[in-house]
Amino acid sequence: MSSTTSKAFDAAKSSSQQAKTTLKTVTEERSTTTSSLLHHPYTRSALPFINGGLAGMTATTVIQPIDMIKVRLQLAGEGAKSSARPSALQVTRDIIAQGKVADLYTGLSAGLLRQAVYTTARLGFFDTFMNMQKVNAEAKGVQIGFRERAGAGLAAGGLAAMVGNPADLALIRMQSDGLKPLAQRANYTSVVDALSRIAKAEGVTALWAGAYPTIARAMALNFGQLAFFSEAKNQLKSQTQLSAQTQTMTASAVAGFFASFFSLPFDFVKTRLQKQQKAPDGSLPYKGMADCFRKVTRDEGILRFYRGFGTYYVRIAPHA
């Protein structure tokens, strides 16, 4: 009996050791596979795009209420020069009073899609353009300078904005829907719902409404961020004794201001064009970007393009 028990114990111990060895081998193989996958050339090439997209989507989640307030400020008093000028705080109170705090996150799905598409496309185009620049520079025996990097950034931003325009339009439609009378609201449930219904009712090409100011806005933003961040950083480094971290934060603040200054008029026009829908007679308030600039200047004053500058700056500066 004792011998049988001993044999059973030894067999169980041996099985346990084999199981541990097998588990260790499987774990090591999985670790090796994971490490191999992460270091695969394709994975390493994709990681910057994935990280960039995730970072942009995270930032969008945080600043979505600010974007909502910015859009409502731009649409307030449309067509009237002497209309009331609500503050960001008043707009916030009105949105909450009409529904709930969660309404500040209206259009979040569209904002996330827009960031995922725009950020990934911008990085992809920029990387492609820079590789082309490197090949040309090596062939000529010269170094890539600021002009080449700025050109690549501007072109990448413009093309990515074109690709992301449908999501941008869906975002504006969802955020402005609450301004309509209850009976006229579309009550979009998600970005997919908004895109499909807009395409069905107005045609697929309607998804690219406001594409020109969207592209101009992206290029103006990139210009402000690239040119003024670099210049501000150089000036602070040579003229002050500030720490490197303080120099970077100050340069970002300066770049954010100029990026906002150059791009806000285009952002304003983009919002107006993407929000508009055809009247029963088939007419639209604005025929295009130039017409919108002209009518707003005539009817509301040129300073209307900078309404909500503070809110817009708070939204843009962290990205500079």
**What single string gives the DSSP state of each residue in 283-307?**
--S-SSHHHHHHHHHHHH-GGGGGT
pLDDT value for 92:
92
Output the CA torsion sign for 124, 139, 227, 267.
Answer: negative
pLDDT value for 162:
95
Digit-coded pLDDT (tens) for 32-49: 555 566 566 667 767 767
Output the CA torsion sign for 167, 214, 265, 291.
Answer: negative
pLDDT value for 287:
93
Q: Assess whether pLDDT exceeds 80 at residue 28.
A: no
Q: Assess whether pLDDT exceeds 60 at residue 273.
A: yes
CB 71 within 8 A of CB 176: yes
pLDDT value for 9:
47
Helices 88-98 and 41-75 pack at an angle, to 10 degrees, of 90
Q: Assess whether pLDDT exceeds 70 at residue 238.
A: yes
Q: Is this prediction's pTM over 0.95?
A: no
Digit-coded pLDDT (tens) for 152-172: 888 999 999 999 999 999 999
Average pLDDT of the residues in 109-114: 95
Please give the C-alpha separations between residue 14 and each of 7, 8, 9, 28, 33, in angstroms, as whole numbers. Answer: 10, 10, 9, 21, 28
Q: Assess whether pLDDT exceeds 80 at residue 79.
A: no
pLDDT value for 14:
57
pLDDT value for 80:
67
For a pLDDT cut of 70, what percent of the chain falls above it?
A: 83
Distance, in Å, from the CA atom of 114 to the CA atom of 121, rounded to the nearest integer, reads: 10
Digit-coded pLDDT (tens) for 180-230: 998 999 999 999 999 999 999 999 999 999 999 999 999 999 888 878 888
Q: Tell me the average pLDDT of the chain.
A: 85
User: Taking Cα atoms as reference points, which of 230, 214, 179 lies closest to residue 292?
Assistant: 214
